[in-house]
A and B are shown apart, each in its own frame.
Chain A
Amino acid sequence: MRREIPMIVAFVAGVIIILEFFVPSLRSVASQVQNWYLVVVAFAILVGAFNLLRMNYMKVRDRRADWPYSIILIVGLFTMAIAGIFWGIGQGTVFDWLFNYLMFPMSSTMFALLAFFVASAAYRAFRARAVDATLLLVAAIIVMLGQVPIGSIWIPEWWPHSLVFLTPDWLKDRIMEIFNTAGQRAILIGASLGVVSTSLRILLGIERSYLGEE
């Protein structure tokens, strides 16, 4: 029974959402159930945060490699959470200050750092070793040129319209509208077929891994 009832819960919750599209009278029930979902997700996030705390606590306890840094992580977590919960999150609060001067610079610099690595990765990965690598490289270069003003700055006013296909701008638009749209659409369709079949398997009780081991 410890598995069957949760399975029924999953089935009922999912079917309500699907049936709502065909049975309008279910709408208010569905809306109620969706609002419950938001609360459950909030608890799921708390569970995630607790797990993070737990893993880092264990790292400190066992004195694993880099354990002193885990103390910093734990201190940061409590500082931010306590400041936010007790003194509010609006403009001008301690929380807002911590966000602006601690979290904001770190978050954006972490990803800005990747600018350097993207350059060295392009240097390393973009070698015309084979047909596929060459296609990748040429497309990347055209898009990079087509995206910035400098790419078309050399094109004079009198450039004939019949030669427009030689400009990075034009080539970039064709790559994006045809090749990129085709490739991304295939990914979209392929991935959505996966999601649809997994959803169906969950609702029908074929996929039960979410219930964990017996």
Chain B
Amino acid sequence: MPRLFEATSEPEYGELSPERRDELIGKISRAIVERNLTAPAIFFLESTKPLSFIGSQVMVFFDPLVRSIFNLRGYNDVRLALEERENVDRLLVAIERYDAEWRAEMKEEKKRRKRKGS
């Protein structure tokens, strides 16, 4: 029986390197902030934090199905990230930090444009 478990074409259990994790978090947080979705995203992540592990296991369950329909490279990485609850906190912090930076940048740009105009 153990042979059966191992001899598969599915990817191994896998591990998420800290670099890949940070890259993923950066990517997601930028996508959220630049679409003006900071507030809803914070609310959603903060309010569903306890379920991150269950989320990851649901992803395991649907993994063969989802990946046979869509070619999602990030699927496995997101799944691994969700297994560690702290990663949700990391994402929240990243979103808030990037949101502050992005807002400041937008303000700056507006000022610059105004100065050019006048």
Direct A–B contact present (CB less than 8 angstroms)? yes
* Chain A residues within 8 Å of B103, by CB: 130
- With contacts A51-B10, A117-B49, A124-B46 known, is A209 near B71, CB below 8 A? yes
A127-154 residues with Cβ-Cβ distance < 8 A to B are: 129-130, 132-133, 136
- A200 and B54 CA atoms in complex are apart in Å by 33
Contact indicator A52/B64 (Cβ below 8 Å): no
- With a cutoff of 8 Å between Cβ atoms, the chain A residues found around residue B40 in the complex are 136
**A71-102 interface (Cβ within 8 A of B):** none
Residues of A within 8 A of B42 (CB): 121, 124-125
Chain A's interface size range is 35 or more
Tell whether A62 is near chain B: CB-to-CB under 8 Å.
yes
Interface size, chain B (Cβ < 8 Å)? 32
Contact with A along B62-77 (1 / 0, CB 8 A): 1111001111000000
A133 touches B39 (CB 8 A): yes
- A contact residues around B69 at 8 Å (CB): 209-210
A contact patch SS: helix
The reply on B17 being an interface residue by CB < 8 A is: no
Which residues of the partner chain A approach B71 to less than 8 Å between Cβ atoms?
A: 209
Is A44's CB within 8 Å of the partner chain B? yes
Q: A114-B51, A117-B49 are in contact. List 4 more A-B contacts (CB 8 A).
A: A58-B12, A64-B13, A117-B50, A121-B42
Pairs A-B, 10 closest by C-beta atoms: A209-B71, A121-B46, A121-B47, A125-B43, A125-B42, A48-B61, A133-B39, A118-B47, A58-B13, A117-B47
Contact residues of B with A, CB < 8 Å? 2, 5-6, 8, 10, 12-13, 36, 38-40, 42-43, 46-51, 54, 57, 60-65, 68-71, 103
List 19 A–B pairs whose Cβ atoms lie within 8 Å, in order of A's numbering: A47-B64, A48-B60, A48-B65, A51-B10, A51-B61, A51-B63, A54-B5, A54-B8, A58-B6, A114-B50, A114-B51, A118-B47, A121-B43, A124-B46, A126-B39, A133-B38, A136-B40, A209-B70, A210-B68
